[in-house]
Structure 1
Amino acid sequence: MDVQRIILIGALAIISYMLVLQWNQDYGVQPEPVAQTESVSAYQSNTDTPTESSSDLPQTATAGTTDVPGAKAVVNNQQKQLISVKTDVLELLIDSKGGDIIEVALPEYKAVLGSDQPFVLLEQNGNRTYVSQSGLIGTNGPDADPAGRPTYTTAANSYSLEGDELVVDLVHTADDAVTITKRYRFTPGSYEVTLEYLVNNGSAENWQGKLFGQIKRDGSGDPSETTDMGMQSYLGAVFSTTENSYEKVDFDDMREANFKAVSQDGWVAMSQHYFLSAWIPAAGAEYSYSSRVSGGNHIAGFVSPGFDVAPGETKTVSANFYAGPKVTELLEAAAPDLELTVDYGILWFIASPMAMVLKWIQGFVGNWGVAIIFITILVKALLFQVNAKAFKSMAKMRKFGPEMTRLKELYGDDRQKMSQSMMELYKKEKINPLGGCLPIVAQMPVFISLYWVLLESVELRHAPFMLWITDMSVMDPYFLMPILMGGTMFIQQLLNPTPPDPMQAKIMKMLPIVFTFFFLWFPAGLVLYWLVNNVLSIAQQYVINKQIDGEGPKKA
């Protein structure tokens, strides 16, 4: 290859690289801080804000009443009041009308890398409707009142956790002398919120009701999704019952039919990339779980069995609400099987132990990129013998390539004799012509499993590696690692035998370019794994080639 041709190819490569950079800047996914829109009450007369529909509540809430979609409660200043609650890991807004949680921000997780703005999981505004609702329905439940949701009063408009526990009481007193306290409990470092309803029956009649909890979300996209390329994390509802510990019900499923199940214990969740919200009813009772669509919102929730409060008595019902990251240890502590929402796909039996080992290594090295390098070395060691056999077979095919060419020229169009001679050569030299496929076949399950581990591990979100790689969960901003990965694939091909079929040889030469293009928008952590794997494969194959080249041909 002359110097002029090398210069032209180099110039073309540089121009192509600059074009890809510019294209990504203009059209690629560019995470930018989004101006936070304040969440608002759903019970306002202003037509520019969302309004609550009676059909948004469980059906038993409207039993015996006229269901008028869009019916609004009378609004006053007190009903518009939002209650602010802050802990070390949660920042919430509670609507005094109904006592629903209409906003949850996570200060430990930033909206985008380098921003001080916390990631907002739940919100109710013009951007998105994603809220946690709860109440008392049934015969005497205040949320079953056709006049609208109950209005609660609080001692303050703002609360902050100081000490071991924060208790926020919302109080509602009905005309019949029944006092209902909706109590939220918060503890340091916890993404779980305990909800308690204390029903004090000061009337002369028996009080009957049911507890419901539900998560309402519109059909907007996942704000925590980092890429439009490749497989995406699940977005939708999840139910856990005695019959099925982990059952997905996505938004399309909800629009087609309502999900209904009755189960002892269980939970209901709304899952997205990296984060989760879930209602976990108190253990020891049989609950009704369901989903439905109302006014464009997708609703998934539970209803408790009915309970009675005799005159002069006080009774408490409770449930826990989780809103936070999909960290396996936190989810395991919150509820049985809740950790299954960290969904590793069909190869979970490979991905789960891989995730455990990756986190264990990271605990020692303190860097997720270095942990990925170590787990790549570990996987390579486990597959060492499989790869060694394949590389030996390829090295022998490379060494005896001239002999194969001679046999092809000798027998010409006599394919039967040529095939017979080839098989004798393969048998004598212990060559497996399909051996070169073994490394790729063995690596693919590991590769796919690691893809899901990196995709689902919130710990890698905004986790830096080194130099320009500041977030292992998103693509390399300068595409340097994918280019290096493509270069290592090209070097591997130089160490492999050239396929005898000209068309196959051309396809193999194109593979590094094709793989490089696909990997441009893959998470940097995944590209790092493949790059390190290629480097280790090159070293192993180079040593084996030298060993095979030093051996003489076997005697017949």
Structure 2
Amino acid sequence: MNQNNGMQKRMLIMTLVVFVFFIAYEFLVLKPQQEARAQKAKEELSQKQNAAPDVNTVATQTLSTDVNGNPVDMSKSADALSSKAIASSQIVSVIKTAKNVIEIDTLGRVAQVTLLEKKYKDENTNQIKLLESNQLRPLEVRFADANLNTEAFKVNVIASSSNVDATTQVQELILTQNLTNSILTKKFTIYPDGHYDLTVSTTNDKQFFISNGFRPNVLADMYAVHGFISKLNDNTLKTIEDGDLDKNENIVGAKFISNFDRYYATVIYNFEKSLNVTVMPDSSSNPQGFIHGGNSISFSGYIGPKNHRDLEALNPELIDVIDYGWFTFIAKPMFLLLQFIQGYIGNWGWTIVILTILIKLVLYPLSYKGMVSMQKLKDLAPKMKEIQARYKDDKQKQSMHMMELYKKHGANPMGGCLPLILQIPVFFAIYRVLLNAIELKGAPWILWVHDLAEMDPYFVLPILMGATMYLQQKITPNTMQDEMQKKIFQFLPVVFTFFFLWFPAGLTLYWFINNLFTIGQQYYINKVFERKRAEKA
């Protein structure tokens, strides 16, 4: 029993430490960083408006190769994120599809992607722009020849058209860059759904590398993974999170590469001829992917939301761009079930409610065993105290008599913990699904909840979640003997409520409904045991 209490105490303390760390990190680190970036963005935007520089004068990275032919970074990229504003003088072609607007700059790179669907709006109700103006841009070409590379950052491309309307039918765009010893050509085929095919070639056998750019920077927070992901020919996934890359990494035989934040991604893929990639760290150890292009390469690309159906329509394997972390094997089928239910219900909020109920029903046998075990331990508490007092100086005898007591009454000191441990993968999986599902973006539920991907604006759901967690504690048998443990345990609903204030409403809704049904199950078990006690009396 002492060992069990000790384990419970360690688990509670660990839980509190983790949550305090998250909260402290959110307020002491992330928020000041976000505020600093926002202030810097305003200052840079103001400077641009006063004197917009030509793109060729903007600091760029130059690249040469090492002895193995891999790209080598010759200068540092910008440390801080800037605003997403792009000077019109930098743009040579504007592509409009049914889903987005893609702006091509004077060096033939994707300077900006603006999402057109109504639900993709920022906090100022403007249509979301995905890319930062002074980060590595998608489709930037680096030459192996250092001299040619230097020249390439000074020579503007020539576009076959300054405006391309691909809203209803497939269109083409050709970009040509005339260099001293080579001509670089990019031939786009652009589709109404926003994706493209691209062939890049050079004359005179000039070797180059091409990047899918720095990740979109719309929502990169502490709660979700953001960085680089690649799918290899053996169907394994390689993920490198932002800040974790300290040296170049070579990837041979990739089906796709992607840089992503919580909801959006830049993707380059080729499922017929695999890609060889070098991933380089920028000055902040963030991963930047460069595809080995040789003197000619063809692939397809997509820059936009990590929407499950959109990615699946391009190729089912692109669903792997959505990273659910350790519990992907549970999270993927769980999302498919969520999407299936939503197809009938039509409302993502009620879909979450129904999914939560289904999960509770499936896990009910485990929950029931845990609750019954806790009730038995509660009934045995007086006898356990008696044994502890009688053999307080002989721990071996104390443990022996405790085991005899458990065996006689069919109680298991771990019975309440084991079912919970077995449910943890499911909880983490649904957490990951709801955290990364951009399908919840702009999805309303009822009355005050207009966007399940955003926090509850009036904190109703977090407060209800905390209240139900407190009520759940009150009716759940507590076998803790230590008063300090009890106080820590009683404080958890407050900590969780505070923590969930800024969580997406969809995730908080799941937790609230889960608590509600746990209370119902616990109430039923309590009534059954009360009836049994009355019968014995």
Please tell me the TM-score bracket, short chain as reference.
0.7 to 0.9
Q: Which residue of 2 aligns with 1:92?
A: 102
**What CA distance in whole angstroms lies between the structure 2 residues aligned with 1:182 and 1:537?**
58
- Aligned counterpart for 1:292 among listed residues 280, 298, 310: 280
Deviation string, structure 1 residues 405-434 (Cα, Å, up to 9, x no partner): 677788898888876666555444433333
Q: How many residues align?
A: 487
- Residue 92 of structure 1, CA deviation: 1.2
Q: How does 1:382-397 map to 2 (within 5 A)?
A: 382-397=362-377
Equivalent of 1:494 in 471, 474, 477: 474
Aligned residue number for residue 8 of structure 1: none
State the 1:89 CA deviation. 0.6
Q: Aligned runs of 1:452-491 on 2, under 5 Å?
A: 452-491=432-471
**Residue 232 (structure 1) aligns with:** 224
Query: What SS does the corresponding residue of 2:205 show, helix, strand or coil?
Result: strand
Partner of 1:52: 60
**Distance in structure 1 (CA, Å) of the matches to 2:138 and 2:415:** 55
Residues 104 and 110, structure 2, Cα contact 8 Å, conserved in 1: yes
CA contact (8 A) 1:213 1:279 kept: no
Quote the offset at 1:539 in angstroms. 1.3
Asked whether the 8 Å contact 2:370–2:419 carries over to 1, the reply is: yes
Larger Rg: 1
Question: Does 1:330 pair with 2:310?
Answer: yes
Q: 1:450 to 1:37 in 2, by over 3 A?
A: farther
2:501 alignment partner in structure 1 = 520
Matched-pair contact (CA < 8 Å) for 1:269–1:277: yes
* Among 326, 329, 333, the residue aligned to 1:353: 333
Tell me if the contact between 1:56 and 1:294 (Cα under 8 Å) persists in the aligned partners.
Answer: no
Secondary structure of the structure 2 residue equivalent to 1:133: coil
Distance 1:415 1:269 in 2: 58
**Equivalences for residues 100-139 of structure 1 within 5 A:** 100-108=109-117, 112=121, 116-124=125-133, 128-135=134-141
Shift of 1:453: 0.9
Q: Secondary structure at the match of 1:223?
A: coil
Q: Which amino acid aligns with 1:450?
A: I
| Pair 1:323–1:80, CA change in 2 (3 A) | closer
Query: CA-to-partner distance for each residue in 1:51-72, whole Å, 9 max, x for gaps?
Result: 334x157789x99xxx8999xx
Residues 1:410 and 1:494: Cα distance change in structure 2 (over 3 Å): farther
Contact 2:198 2:299 in 1 (8 A): yes
* In structure 2, C-alpha distance between the alignment counterparts of 1:442 and 1:343, rounded to whole Å: 22
In the other structure, the counterpart of 2:196 is 193
Corresponding residue number in structure 1 for 2:82? none
User: Is 1:258 the counterpart of 2:267 in the alignment?
Assistant: no
C-alpha contact (below 8 Å) 2:331/2:429 kept by paired residues: yes
2:120–2:441 contact (8 Å) kept in structure 1? no
- Write the deviation string for residues 114-135 of structure 1: whole angstroms up to 9, x where unpaired: 75422111242xxx42411255
- Corresponding residue SS for 1:51: coil
Unpaired stretches in structure 2, ≥5 consecutive residues: 1-22, 78-86
Distance 1:87 1:353 in 2: 31
Structure holding more helix per residue: 2
1:280 is aligned, of 255, 269, 277, to 269
Q: Output the CA distance in 2 between the equivalents of 1:157 and 1:47.
A: 17
Q: Kindly, what percent of the aligned residue pairs are identical?
A: 30
* Structure 1 residues 315-326: aligned runs within 5 Å: 318-326=298-306
User: CA–CA distance in 2 between the matches of 1:437 and 1:383?
Assistant: 14
User: 5 Å matches for 1:171-210?
Assistant: 171=176, 182-188=186-192, 190-197=193-200, 207-210=204-207
Confirm or deny that 1:301 pairs with 2:301.
no
Q: 1:331 to 1:222 in 2, by over 3 A?
A: same
Q: CA deviation at 1:149?
A: 5.5
What's the offset of the Cα at 1:80?
4.8
- Partner of 1:290, secondary structure, is strand
Relative to the length of structure 2, the TM-score reads: 0.75
What is the CA deviation profile of residues 364-417 of structure 1, one whole-angstrom value per residue up to 9, with x for unaligned ones?
112222111111111111111111122223334445656666777888988888
Q: 2:413 matched to 1:430? A: no
Aligned to 2:92: 82
Label 1:192 to 1:443 Cα distance change in 2 as closer, same or farther (>3 A). same
Deviations 1:473-526 (A, max 9, x none): 233333332222222222223323343514233333333333333333333222
Q: Distance in 1 between matches of 2:142 and 2:480?
A: 75
Kindly indicate whether the alpha-carbon contact (under 8 Å) linking 1:192 and 1:320 is maintained by their aligned counterparts in 2.
yes
SS in 2 for 1:291: strand
Q: Which whole-Å CA distance do the structure 1 matches of 2:379 and 2:467 have between them?
A: 23
Distance 1:197 1:441 in 2: 52
Query: Of residues 225, 242, 250 in structure 1, which corresponds to 2:233?
Result: 242
Of 149, 159, 164 in structure 1, the residue corresponding to residue 164 of structure 2 is 159
In the alignment, what sits opposite 2:214? 217
Structure 1 unmatched ranges of 5 or more: 1-19, 71-76, 202-206, 308-316
Q: Is the Cα–Cα contact under 8 Å of residues 168 and 185 in structure 1 kept in the other structure? A: yes
Matched to 1:223, the amino acid is: V
Contact 1:136 1:143 in 2 (8 A): no
1:529 is matched by which residue type in structure 2? Y
Aligned residues of 1:138 and 1:306 also touching (Cα < 8 A): no
- Choose which of 525, 533, 540 in structure 1 pairs with 2:514: 533
How well do the aligned residues superpose, as a CA RMSD in angstroms?
A: 4.5
Cα offset, 1:39, TM superposition:
13
Give the match for residue 310 of structure 1: none
> What is the CA-CA distance between 1:214 and the residue it aligns to?
0.8
